[in-house]
Chain A
């Protein structure tokens, strides 16, 4: 059982990396990957929201959705968005320092595809409470890893002599492609 959980975590983090393999959460990946410090904070906020999402999705899957399966999307969105809002207000009140570090990213990632994607994948694969939690933490670590790698490469690219034409999103996408190519090597990890 515990090895299963570990495998779910590693799989979500490396083999099926959310950003580089499933293309989820690309907006922050492109938008806030210019500096390593920002990327780390974004990653931390992502892990946080993903964990909350997983808890909410487990709860909805267990108690609400069996009665009204067609409300799946709407209830996921509404519940996750309001939960994040509540948590954000709590953090603002309890720990202003933490809020300054993470706060501004929380509303940004609430409507991010990685968050809803996690809830939907978790449902489609029939993960329970613990498995969902492992999946969420793995996915969050994977997003953070991708963001930090991207930010490190972009910080270097700032100093490199790149033709003016290639500067901008084209270059970022080509870098992402190479990263994704490298991450495909992890596919060898999968156990039969």
Chain B
């Protein structure tokens, strides 16, 4: 019985994480692709299923989701920058430990800053700010990308992944707050006659919302994939088939 042995393997074996963004030797990418990959095509939450704990735990309102998204964005960008700068100084054997230390430093900065600037939101997010340290998405980007690429590219990749994470968080937060509270960012949308679906802002609502989003995406992908063979079968359109 063999199993994943290191944190790298953990990231690779995480549910849904198909060799995401892991570069093969000699493989090159364009700067635009480095950025856009994380935003949509390999969105950390919706496609790679990484960073699920915060995506489910603190998305009961848009404000909390946004604060969490921004804090994670900050930590990801800072760690990618530092890891990319020091990549040649970090010994290969202790690289995971070094990455985690760098990440933990940035999380401590984010934690203390939020506590000082927005104490209410810091209280609402609670322990989950500290738990950004163990967000596999961040460690995954360091191991797969920042530790191998130049500083500029590492920053672009961190920006893209961070933006993708924020998009997913705000999407979850909007759906849950809208249905569970009838409001967006605290402003009432449906008026007083709306009976809120309380379940959406409680823990089960997190699982159900993400589950339904994934099912919807799967359905959409399935339709797109089904369209391709039609084109391949009749590359010159329906007319050529009729002519034959």
Known: A100-B1, A116-B133, A169-B16. A184 touches B202 (CB 8 A): yes
Q: Is A36 an interface residue (CB 8 A)?
A: no
* Distance in Å: Cβ of A11 to nearest Cβ of chain B: 15
B residues near A152, Cβ cutoff 8 Å: none
Interface hit among B174-182, B215-223, B236-244 = B215-223
Kindly report which residue of chain A lies nearest to residue B55, judged by CB atoms: A23
Q: Is A31 an interface residue (CB 8 A)?
A: yes
* Distance in Å: Cβ of A70 to nearest Cβ of chain B: 6
A108 and B104 contacting across the interface, CB-CB below 8 Å: no
Can you identify 12 A-B contacts, CB atoms within 8 angstroms? A22-B57, A24-B53, A72-B108, A104-B1, A104-B3, A111-B7, A112-B134, A115-B134, A169-B16, A174-B208, A177-B204, A184-B202
B residues near A178, Cβ cutoff 8 Å: 204
Give complex CA distance A22, B126 in Å: 11
* Distance in Å: Cβ of B102 to nearest Cβ of chain A: 10
Known: A107-B7, A184-B204. A23 touches B53 (CB 8 A): yes
Q: Which of A101-127 contact B (CB under 8 A)?
A: 104-105, 107-108, 111-113, 115-117, 120-121, 124
A70 and B112 contacting across the interface, CB-CB below 8 Å: yes
Q: Is A20 an interface residue (CB 8 A)?
A: yes
Contact of B10 among A24, A111, A180 (CB under 8 A): A111
B131 and A174 contacting across the interface, CB-CB below 8 Å: no
B residues near A188, Cβ cutoff 8 Å: none
Q: Is B214 an interface residue (CB 8 A)?
A: yes
* Distance in Å: Cβ of A144 to nearest Cβ of chain B: 18
A residues near B127, Cβ cutoff 8 Å: 117, 120-121, 124
Q: Is A189 an interface residue (CB 8 A)?
A: no
A170 and B100 contacting across the interface, CB-CB below 8 Å: no
User: Which B residues are within 8 Å of any A CB, using their own CB?
Assistant: 1-7, 10, 13-16, 49, 52-53, 56-57, 97, 100-101, 104-105, 107-108, 111-112, 126-127, 130-131, 133-136, 139, 199, 202-208, 210-212, 214-215, 218-219, 222
Prevailing SS type, chain B contact patch: helix
B211 and A74 contacting across the interface, CB-CB below 8 Å: no
The size class of the interface chain A forms with chain B is 35 or more
B residues near A180, Cβ cutoff 8 Å: 203-204, 207
B15 and A113 contacting across the interface, CB-CB below 8 Å: no
B15 and A30 contacting across the interface, CB-CB below 8 Å: yes
Q: Is A62 an interface residue (CB 8 A)?
A: no
Give complex CA distance A24, B212 in Å: 20
A113 and B131 contacting across the interface, CB-CB below 8 Å: yes
Contact of A70 among B52, B108, B130 (CB under 8 A): B108
* Distance in Å: Cβ of B145 to nearest Cβ of chain A: 18
Give complex CA distance A65, B176 in Å: 38
B residues near A176, Cβ cutoff 8 Å: 207, 211
Known: A22-B57, A170-B211, A173-B214. A120 touches B131 (CB 8 A): yes
* Distance in Å: Cβ of A49 to nearest Cβ of chain B: 13
